[in-house]
Structure 1
Amino acid sequence: MLVSKDPSKQVFVFTPQCLTSMLEAALIGAAESGRVAIDFGEQSISYRELLAEVSRIQQRLNQAGLQPGNRVGIHVERSPVMIATLLACLFSGIAFVPLDPLFPAGRLKDIAEEAQLNAVLETGAEDSAPIGFCCPVLSLDPEGADQPQAGNATPMRSPLLRPETTAYMMFTSGSTGKPKGVVISHQALATFLCAALERLGLDDECHWLLITTIAFDISMLEIFAPLLVGGRLRLTSSEEHKDPHAVAAILARYPSVNTLQATPTFWRMLVNTGWEGQTGLTALTGGEALDGGLAQQLLSRCAVLWNCYGPTEATVWSLMSEVQPDQPITIGRSLAGYGHLVLDDNDQPVAVGQEGELCIYGDALSDGYWQRADLTERQFITRSDGLRYYRTGDNVRRLADDSYQYFGRLDGQVKLRGYRIELGEIEARLRGLAAVRDAAVTLEGEGEQATLVAYLEQGEQSGSGAPAMTRLQLRKALSAHLPGYMIPGRFVWLTRLPTTASGKVDRKRLAAG
C-alpha cells in the first residue's frame, strides 16, 4: 500500500490485522507504479524484480518440504536476496532466525541447536568452510531457467497464517551461557510497524539507509517500514555497514537518502568522521542511552531526531519521542498498541517523581522465550488488572504520564554499542576454561571508551606462577562461541575475586581497582 503526502494520491490507513496482507498490497502497488525497491552498490532492484525473487525463494522453500510453523536460519550475506528471503518466510508462515555470517561458527551452531531449526538457508556467497549445522542446509542460489518472470510473480500467502503465527525468533545474550530466543508473532510485528509508520509519518518518498545486521531486531524497522509505504531501501554491504567512514561516503554520494537509524555509539563515530549532516534527514537513535551533547550535535546535522526505547521482548521500539533543542533527554511517548507502567519493589505503580522498574504491556509483546517456560514466567507477568506485562529490568524515574528518565539496569545486563549483553554468558564461558576457577566481567568506561573487563581467578591446574593463558589465548578461546562485541578488551588475573559479606562477587571493588 502506498502512503503519499500528495493529496491526489490515495492514502491508506494501516491496521495491525495481517502483516502479510499489508505487505502484499504494498509490494504489488509499488510494482505497478514501476518503483525501485532496493539499491545495493550500483545495482537497483525494482519492486517487480523483488516480487519475482520472493516468489522464487518461496518455490525453493516449498520444494524443500518446509511448512508453515517451521523454523529456518537465515545465514545469508547482506544483499537483496537477504531481504527477499525474509519476505518469503513471512508470506509462507515460516519463522526466520537470523544467523549473522559475521558471528563465530560456534555461536551460530548454538543458536541453530537451541532453535531446533528445520533448515538453514544460505547462498553461494557464504564462506565455503562448513559450519556443521544440526539441520539441512538449503542453497538459495538460482538453479536454472525455470525462474518466475518479473512481470507475473506474486507472493503466495499461506492460508494457515494467523496473527499468532511466529514471524521470527531473535536470539539475545543469555545469563546461563547460551543465547535465548525471543519469539515474535505476526501480530506483534504488525502492531509495531503500523505504530512506527504512524509516528514517523513515512510515505513513498522514504529512502532509508539500512546499516543494521538482521541479528539486531531494530533492523526489522529498517527493512519493512520502507517497503510498507512503497519507499526505497539503500542496503549497505557486509564491509560497509559497520564502517562510519563508508556510511558517511554513502550519505554524501546519495543525498536522496532521508532516513537513518543507528545506536548512539555509531552516530558518535559518524560525527567524528567529519560528517556535517544531511539536508532533510530523519535520524533515529536507540539501543543505548542518548546523551545531551550528542543529541545537540545530531540536531544540528539533521531535520528530525527521534530517541527510541524498547527491548526485543516488546518488538523493537515501544517508546519514540522527538528530541527538541536544549531540552532534557528523556524516553517517552508510547507507540499505538503499547502501554507502560513503573512498578516499585512491591510491584505497585509509583507516583510521578518516583523510581521503579519500567514494565510494558500491549499487543506487541513477545510470546515469551523459546522453550524457557521458567524465564518466561519470571519476566512476563499478569497483574490483577488482567493485563500481561513484560518486566524490562530497566530502572527509570516517572517524570509525568508517559515520560521517563532512564537510569540503567537493575541486573547484570549491559548495553555496549547497542548490543544487549548478559555478563553472565561471558562469565560462564570463561569458567568453562580449565585455567579459570572463577570469573567476573564488568563494563567500564563510557561512550566510545566503554569496554568489557574480565577479572579471572586462576584454576587449580594453573599453579601459582604466571597466568596459564595469555590475553590472545583467552580471546581465541572465547571467539569460538562469542561474537566480537562480547569478548572483553582487558583480562585481569587475581588470586581471589573480592566478595561481599554475603559471599557474592563485589563488582564495585573490582571496578575501583
Structure 2
Amino acid sequence: MLLSNDPGEESLAFTPQHFTAMLEAALIGAAESGRVAIDFGEQSISYRELLSEISRVQQQLSQAGLQPGSRVGIHVERSPALIATLLACLFSGIAFVPLDPLFPAGRLKDIAQEAQLDAVLETGRNDSAVIGFCCPVLALDPDGAADPQAGNVAPMRSPSLRPDTTAYMMFTSGSTGKPKGVVISHQALATFLCAAVERLGLDDKCHWLLITTIAFDISMLEIFAPLLVGGRLRLTNSDEHKDPHAVAALLTRYPSVNTLQATPTFWRMLVNTGWQGQAGLTALTGGEALDSGLAQQLLSRCAVLWNCYGPTEATVWSLMSQVQPDQPITIGSSLAGYGHLVLDETDQPVAVGQEGELCIYGDALSDGYWQRADLTARQFVTRGDGLRYYRTGDNVRRLADDCYQYLGRLDGQVKLRGYRIELGEIEARLRGLDAVRDAAVTLEGEGEQATLVAYLEQGEQNGADAPAMTRLQLRKALSAHLPGYMIPGRFVWLARLPTTASGKVDRKQLAAG
C-alpha cells in the first residue's frame, strides 16, 4: 500500500472501486482466516458474521429504494450493527451522516433538515428521538439475521461509484447558529485511510480500542483502518466511551489492545485515573494542542506516541508526527497525498521562522460545505500554482520544511476537549431567547479547567425588561439544540457588553473580568 507524498502523482489516483475492492479483500481474507472483527462487551463478532451483516443491511437499503448518491442519517447506538451499517453505506455508494443518539433531539433535527436526508437509519429503539426529521425512518433489526454459518458473502460494490461520490457528511459547529456539513468523497477517504495505515504501520495484529463518537470525524480512522488490514476492533458502549475510568479498566482487562486514539483532554483524564500504561501501546493524540508535560507522561506509558493534526475539511488528519522524548512538541510530517503551505496576510508563502495561516492541499480535501457555496469559496481557494487549498484558520510558525509550531486560531473558533466550536453558534442561540438582548461567549482557562463562559445583556419582552433567566433555565434552553460540550459552564449577566472603538465586542476585556 505504498503511496507518494506528492498529491499530484498518479499513484494516488484512487478510484472508489479500487478502495472498496481493497476493503472487501481485507474483510474476506480475514473471514477465511477465522479472525474476530469486533469485540463488544462479552460478545465477539467474526469477520464472517460481519460480512453477512453488511450484506443484510445492504439488502434493506436497496429494498427501501436507497441508491448510490442517497443521503442517510445514521442514528444507531454504539454496537456492531453501527459498524456494519457504515460499511454497507460505503459499499453501496450511499452517503452517511452521523447522528449521535446522545446528542439533543433538536440538534439532530437541525442536521437532518440541513442535510436534506433521504432516510434515517436506526435500530428501532429510539423512535421518539427521530420524530420530526421530515424523512422516512428505516428501522434496522439490531439482533438479527446475521448467519455465522453463512459463506463469505461479498459486499455488493456499487458499479456507479466515482472518485467524487460522497462517502459521508460530517456536521460541525457553524457561526450562523446552525451546524454546517463538510462533504467528504470516497477519493478523500481512501487517500487518508491508506496514508494513515502506512504511516502507522498497521497490520492484522492491530487491536484498536474504539472510544470516539461517530459525530467526531477522527472516529473514521478508528473504525475503518483496523478493518482495512484485517485487524480487530474493541468497541466501547455508550456508557464506557466517555468515561476514563471505564477505558482504563478496559485497557487493563484486555492487554492485547495495542492502539488507542484520544484528545489530549481525554488522555489527561486517563492518566489522572492512575492508569500506569500499556506495554506495546500505540497512542494517537489530536484535536487540541498537545503540551510537553502530558507528552512526557504518555511517553512513559506507551510504546509510541503520535501527535496528529488536521481539520474535518481535510479528512481527519493531514499531519502525523511521532513524539520524541525531551523534544519540542510540533506538528508536521505530511501524510502521503497531502501538502501544506503557510501564507502571510498578503497570501504569500512565509520563510522559515515566520508565522502565518496554515493551508492544506491534496487529494483528501473536502469537496466543500453542503449547500454553502459562499463559505466554500471563502475557505477553499485555488492559487496561481493551480492547486486547490483549504484555509485552516490556524496560525502557525514555520520551523522547517513540513514542520510547524501551532500558535492558535485566527478567528472566533475554539477547541474544547477536541471538539471544534464556533462561538457564534452558541451566541446565536442565546440571542434567540427573549431574556437576552446580546451575548458573547469566550473560552477561559486551560486544560481540564477550560470552560465556556457566556456574557449576556438582559433583553426586553413586551416593552419591559425581562427577568434574567437562571443558569438552569439557560442550560435547559440551550440543551434543546446544542450538545453538552457546547453549553457554557458559566453565565454572567451584564448591563451592557463592552465594545472596542470600532463597535465590536471587546472579548479581551470580558475575559479580563
TM-score category, normalised to shorter length = over 0.9
User: Which residues of 2 match residues 59-458 of structure 1 at below 5 A?
Assistant: 59-126=59-126, 128=128, 130-141=130-141, 150-458=150-458
CA RMSD between the two structures: 1.7
For residue 244 of structure 2, what is the amino acid of its counterpart?
Answer: P
Query: How much does 1:55 deviate?
Result: 0.2
Return closer, same or farther for 1:280/1:457 CA change in 2, 3 Å cut-off: same
Query: How much does 1:162 deviate?
Result: 1.1
Say if 2:458 and 2:466, in contact at 8 Å, map to a contact too: no
Return closer, same or farther for 1:462/1:490 CA change in 2, 3 Å cut-off: farther
Say if 2:34 and 2:46, in contact at 8 Å, map to a contact too: yes
Say if 1:104 and 1:479, in contact at 8 Å, map to a contact too: yes
Return closer, same or farther for 1:376/1:189 CA change in 2, 3 Å cut-off: same
Q: Which residue number corresponds to residue 7 of structure 1?
A: none
Return closer, same or farther for 1:366/1:325 CA change in 2, 3 Å cut-off: same
Give the secondary structure class of the aligned counterpart of 1:425. Answer: helix
CA deviation string 1:446-494 (max 9, x = no partner):
0000000000001122988794210000000000000000000000000
Return closer, same or farther for 1:86/1:145 CA change in 2, 3 Å cut-off: closer
What TM-score comes out, normalization by structure 1 length? 0.95
**Range that drifts further, 15-24 or 294-303:** 15-24
Say if 1:342 and 1:357, in contact at 8 Å, map to a contact too: yes
Say if 1:51 and 1:150, in contact at 8 Å, map to a contact too: no
Say if 2:121 and 2:140, in contact at 8 Å, map to a contact too: yes
Say if 1:435 and 1:462, in contact at 8 Å, map to a contact too: no
Q: Is residue 2:24 matched to residue 1:24?
A: yes
Q: Distance in 2 between matches of 1:417 and 1:127?
A: 30
Say if 1:320 and 1:334, in contact at 8 Å, map to a contact too: yes
Q: Which residue number corresponds to residue 8 of structure 1?
A: none
Q: Distance in 2 between matches of 1:368 and 1:270?
A: 35
CA deviation string 1:326-363 (max 9, x = no partner):
00000000000000000000000000000000000000
Q: Distance in 2 between matches of 1:412 and 1:404?
A: 21
**Range that drifts further, 116-125 or 462-471:** 462-471
CA deviation string 1:3-22 (max 9, x = no partner):
xxxxxxxxxx9984332111
For residue 257 of structure 1, what is the amino acid of its counterpart?
Answer: V
Query: How much does 1:127 deviate?
Result: 6.0
For residue 275 of structure 1, what is the amino acid of its counterpart?
Answer: W
Q: Distance in 1 between matches of 2:350 and 2:177?
A: 34
For residue 231 of structure 1, what is the amino acid of its counterpart?
Answer: G
CA deviation string 1:416-464 (max 9, x = no partner):
0000000000000000001000000000000000000000001122988
**Range that drifts further, 459-468 or 442-451:** 459-468
CA deviation string 1:196-238 (max 9, x = no partner):
0110000100000000000000000000000000000000000
Query: How much does 1:386 deviate?
Result: 0.2
Q: Distance in 1 between matches of 2:468 and 2:508?
A: 26
Q: Distance in 1 between matches of 2:42 and 2:131?
A: 31
Q: Distance in 2 between matches of 1:304 and 1:240?
A: 24
Give the secondary structure class of the aligned counterpart of 2:54. Answer: helix
Query: How much does 1:150 deviate?
Result: 2.8
Q: Distance in 2 between matches of 1:419 and 1:462?
A: 38
Q: Distance in 1 between matches of 2:58 and 2:348?
A: 49
User: Which residues of 2 match residues 47-66 of structure 1 at below 5 A?
Assistant: 47-66=47-66
Q: Distance in 2 between matches of 1:129 and 1:315?
A: 29
Q: Distance in 1 between matches of 2:399 and 2:96?
A: 38
Q: Distance in 2 between matches of 1:144 and 1:445?
A: 48
For residue 373 of structure 2, what is the amino acid of its counterpart?
Answer: A
Q: Distance in 2 between matches of 1:323 and 1:439?
A: 40
Q: Distance in 1 between matches of 2:198 and 2:105?
A: 39
Q: Which residue number corresponds to residue 5 of structure 1?
A: none
For residue 176 of structure 1, what is the amino acid of its counterpart?
Answer: T
Say if 2:381 and 2:389, in contact at 8 Å, map to a contact too: yes
Q: Distance in 2 between matches of 1:15 and 1:130?
A: 39
Q: Which residue number corresponds to residue 489 of structure 2?
A: 489
For residue 154 of structure 2, what is the amino acid of its counterpart?
Answer: T
For residue 28 of structure 1, what is the amino acid of its counterpart?
Answer: I
For residue 173 of structure 1, what is the amino acid of its counterpart?
Answer: S
For residue 398 of structure 2, what is the amino acid of its counterpart?
Answer: R
Give the secondary structure class of the aligned counterpart of 1:335. Answer: coil
Say if 1:19 and 1:189, in contact at 8 Å, map to a contact too: no
Say if 2:48 and 2:148, in contact at 8 Å, map to a contact too: no
Say if 2:458 and 2:465, in contact at 8 Å, map to a contact too: no
Q: Which residue number corresponds to residue 34 of structure 2?
A: 34
Return closer, same or farther for 1:438/1:51 CA change in 2, 3 Å cut-off: same
Provide structure 1 residue ranges, at least 5 long, that are not aligned to the other structure: 2-12
Return closer, same or farther for 1:148/1:280 CA change in 2, 3 Å cut-off: closer
Give the secondary structure class of the aligned counterpart of 2:52. Answer: helix
Say if 1:26 and 1:227, in contact at 8 Å, map to a contact too: yes
Q: Distance in 1 between matches of 2:192 and 2:86?
A: 17
For residue 235 of structure 1, what is the amino acid of its counterpart?
Answer: L
Q: Which residue number corresponds to residue 503 of structure 2?
A: 503
Say if 1:52 and 1:149, in contact at 8 Å, map to a contact too: no
Give the secondary structure class of the aligned counterpart of 1:230. Answer: coil
For residue 205 of structure 1, what is the amino acid of its counterpart?
Answer: K
Number of aligned pairs?
A: 502
Q: Distance in 1 between matches of 2:442 and 2:484?
A: 16
Q: Distance in 2 between matches of 1:243 and 1:334?
A: 32
CA deviation string 1:243-264 (max 9, x = no partner):
0000000000000000000000
Give the secondary structure class of the aligned counterpart of 1:111. Answer: helix
Say if 1:14 and 1:194, in contact at 8 Å, map to a contact too: no
CA deviation string 1:350-391 (max 9, x = no partner):
000000000000000000000000000000000000000000
For residue 225 of structure 2, what is the amino acid of its counterpart?
Answer: A
Q: Distance in 1 between matches of 2:171 and 2:129?
A: 23
Say if 1:308 and 1:321, in contact at 8 Å, map to a contact too: yes
Q: Distance in 1 between matches of 2:419 and 2:321?
A: 21
Give the secondary structure class of the aligned counterpart of 2:327. Answer: coil
Query: How much does 1:124 deviate?
Result: 2.7
Return closer, same or farther for 1:488/1:167 CA change in 2, 3 Å cut-off: same
What TM-score comes out, normalization by structure 2 length? 0.95
Q: Distance in 2 between matches of 1:441 and 1:96?
A: 32
Query: How much does 1:187 deviate?
Result: 0.5
